[in-house]
Structure formats: structure tokens, C-alpha cells
């Protein structure tokens, strides 16, 4: 991205796929933003519901462009396309089913000004139950599991910035050049955990991730793929294996490998008993088949590491029971 091409401070990237039930409300929220120094880049992933039609005319108040793809290339690939089209210094990724408060972008940019060499996560509220959190960024556990921090917890007062492991890409802010230099999202992931993987790589490159507590977004969640669907189980559990073997520094990889194997066996048994055995076994088989390519990527990623191993370890969740408790909490939601 050349500085000559920067015409706005922020490029809001919106990936859509049959998002018509939500997209209008999301764009209405962007019209209401107190900070107007942004463009909206919509990348439509081959929608069949026409949600991409006539948007420039309907939302003439927005500096809006639409990139139409012929087929669903995946969340990761579509965001990368949007990032390459972006003219902003910052990338604000926003899901079509995420509805930001009017000062959302202003709050995120204030944080970016105060904390250089960082990327940022919004505080998400459940759209259908405003008393509950939808998440406060992402947690990464030493076993390789990841989840949204404080998902399904009651909303509580929070005014201080908090360091977290990585941003949830449903509503996140990244320095555009750092996003591109890190290679963006891994397009082999298609969707699920691509934001955790990117956050891990950015942290290895020396960036910090912060939760911006007053940058609020109301999020529906899993609007396109469905909670607990075969699609989410397959991609989530394949990609967690890839993230572990690609990003985990060598000493930590070997130290926690027995735990990584244990949690994979646990979820193989769990989903088999729940009637999703075919999909979970296929996810793990495909994860193993993809490891030669993952190890090729690993070499380059680990060569670019700029922080001590203990620093990245400090930001991981390390209690062995935590991922199972978080899993049960999420299944109750």
C-alpha cells in the first residue's frame, strides 16, 4: 500500500454473503459514526440474495465501493481482497451482523493514537440479549484452543484498556501495512480462527493487542454459518491444529504437545457422541494432511519472530481446566 494512495484514515472492510437480513442495519450504523474519515469496502462473496445491489445509491452518504466475487471464496480471502483495495492507513474489519455504536470508530482511532505498534478489538455485546457479552477479544490457550474472552458473561463496567491475545475480526482495527506485511489472513483457513492465527503472527512480529472497552458493537454472531453447524465444527477444529503447528514457538510446541493431543482426542470423542463424528474426524484428518504445507509456512513465521518466547507465553491462557470450562460456557449460550 503506497502512501500516495491513502485518501482516508480508515477503510472499513465488510465481507458479505447472503447478509441482507443484517447489512442494512450495519450500514445505517456506519452512516451515524461520529468520525467520518473512512471509506467502506464491501466484498461480496457470491451472494444470491442480492444484498450487494444498489448499495452506492442507497447509501450515498458513505464513501462506499463494492467488489463482487463470483463465488464464496471464504471470509479470509475476501478480507484480504478488501485490504488490497483499501486506501486507508487503518483497516477496520466489521461483520455484516455487527452493529457499532456511533462513537465506535472514534474510540478505536483514539486508542490507535495512544498506543502505537498495536492492533485493537472492540467490546462486543450480544445483539439479541444486551445484558450479555458476545466477547472481549480472543483468548489463546497453550493447548491450541481459542475462544472469545468472556463470551456469555453479564455485561459489567469497564473503562480501562486491557491487553488481550488477539482481536475478534467481527469488529477489529489493524494497521493496514502491518496486516499486509504479515500476509493478511491465511486463505487456506477459509473461515474460523483466521483472526486468532493473524493475531498470533502479529504478536510474534512485535505488535500488542488491546481491547478498547468503550468501542461497543452489538453482534448477532454465526449469522451466515450457524452455531454448532457442521461447517463451524469442521473449519474450527481443522484450523486450530494448523494454528498450533504454524505459530507456536518451538519450545512451547513441544512442551504442550501432549496437551494439544489430549484436547484433540477429547473433541473427537465429544462430537462423535453428539452425532457429528463424521465431520470431526474429517476435520482432524484434513488437518493432518495439511501439515506439510503448514510446516513450510511455519519456517518463515518463526524466522520473523521479534519477541522472546516468554513474552508470547505470558499472554496465553495456561490453566489446564480453562478451555473445557469455556467450552461448556459457550455451549450453554
How confident is the model over 268-323, as pLDDT tens digits?
A: 999 999 999 999 999 999 999 999 999 999 999 999 999 999 999 999 999 887 77
Where does a domain end: 165, 196, 219? 219
- HEC-encoded secondary structure of 267-315: HHHHHHHCCCHHHHHHHHHHHHHCHHHHHHHHHHHHHCCCCCHHHHHHC
Q: Do 158 and 119 share a structural domain?
A: yes
What is the SS3 assignment for 77?
helix
Where does a domain end: 219, 247, 275? 219
Q: Do 210 and 161 share a structural domain?
A: yes
Q: Do 163 and 115 share a structural domain?
A: yes
Task: Please give the tally of structural domains in the chain.
Answer: 2
- Residue 283 lies in domain: 230-331
Per-residue pLDDT at 3 exceeds 90: no
Q: Say how many Å lie between the first and final Cα of the chain, rounded.
A: 41
Per-residue pLDDT at 326 exceeds 80: no
Where does a domain end: 185, 219, 253? 219
How confident is the model over 218-234, as pLDDT tens digits?
A: 999 764 444 678 999 99
In-domain check, residue 224: no
The CATH number of the domain holding residue 88 is 3.90.550.10
* Share above pLDDT 70 across residues of the chain, in percent, rounded to a whole number: 93
Note whether 46 and 69 are within 8 A (CB). yes
Q: Do 56 and 33 share a structural domain?
A: yes
In-domain check, residue 32: yes
Q: How confident is the model at residue 2 (pLDDT cuts 50, 70, 90)?
A: very low
Average pLDDT value for residue range 95-116: 97
pTM recorded for the entire structure: 0.92
Written as nine digits, the cell of 142 is 497453550
Q: Do 292 and 157 share a structural domain?
A: no
Q: Do 302 and 198 share a structural domain?
A: no
Amino acid at each position: 500500500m503506497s502512501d500516495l494512495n491513502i485518501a482516508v484514515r480508515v477503510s472499513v472492510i465488510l465481507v458479505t454473503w447472503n447478509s441482507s437480513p443484517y447489512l442494512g442495519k450495519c450500514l445505517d450504523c456506519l452512516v451515524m459514526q461520529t468520525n467520518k474519515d473512512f471509506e467502506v469496502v464491501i466484498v461480496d462473496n457470491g451472494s444470491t440474495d442480492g444484498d450487494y445491489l444498489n448499495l452506492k445509491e442507497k447509501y450515498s452518504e458513505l464513501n462506499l465501493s463494492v467488489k463482487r466475487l463470483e463465488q464464496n471464496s471464504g471470509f479470509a480471502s475476501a478480507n484480504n481482497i478488501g485490504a488490497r483495495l483499501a486506501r486507508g492507513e487503518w483497516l477496520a474489519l466489521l461483520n455484516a451482523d455487527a452493529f457499532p455504536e456511533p462513537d465506535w470508530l472514534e474510540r478505536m482511532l483514539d486508542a490507535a493514537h495512544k498506543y502505537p505498534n498495536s492492533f485493537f478489538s472492540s467490546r462486543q455485546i450480544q445483539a439479541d440479549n444486551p445484558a450479555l457479552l458476545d466477547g472481549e477479544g480472543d483468548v489463546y490457550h497453550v493447548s491450541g484452543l481459542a475462544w472469545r474472552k468472556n463470551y456469555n458473561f453479564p455485561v459489567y463496567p469497564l473503562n480501562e484498556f486491557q491487553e488481550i491475545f488477539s482481536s475478534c475480526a467481527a469488529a477489529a482495527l489493524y494497521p493496514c501495512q502491518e496486516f499486509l506485511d504479515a500476509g493478511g489472513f491465511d486463505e487456506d483457513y477459509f473461515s474460523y480462527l483466521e483472526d486468532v492465527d493473524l493475531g498470533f503472527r502479529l504478536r510474534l512480529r512485535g505488535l500488542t493487542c488491546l481491547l478498547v472497552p468503550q468501542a461497543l458493537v452489538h453482534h448477532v454472531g454465526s449469522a451466515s454459518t450457524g452455531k454448532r453447524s457442521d461447517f463451524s465444527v469442521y473449519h474450527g477444529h481443522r484450523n486450530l491444529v494448523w494454528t498450533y503447528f504454524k505459530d507456536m514457538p518451538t519450545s512451547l510446541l513441544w512442551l504442550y504437545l501432549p496437551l494439544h493431543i489430549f484436547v484433540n482426542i477429547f473433541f473427537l470423542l465429544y462430537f462423535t457422541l453428539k452425532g457429528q463424528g463424521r465431520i470431526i474426524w474429517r476435520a482432524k484428518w484434513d488437518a493432518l494432511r495439511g501439515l506439510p504445507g503448514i510446516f513450510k509456512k511455519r519456517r518463515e513465521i518463526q524466522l520473523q519472530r521479534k519477541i522472546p518466547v516468554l513474552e508470547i507465553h505470558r499472554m496465553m491462557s495456561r490453566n489446564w481446566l480453562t478451555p473445557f470450562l469455556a467450552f461448556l460456557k459457550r455451549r450453554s449460550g
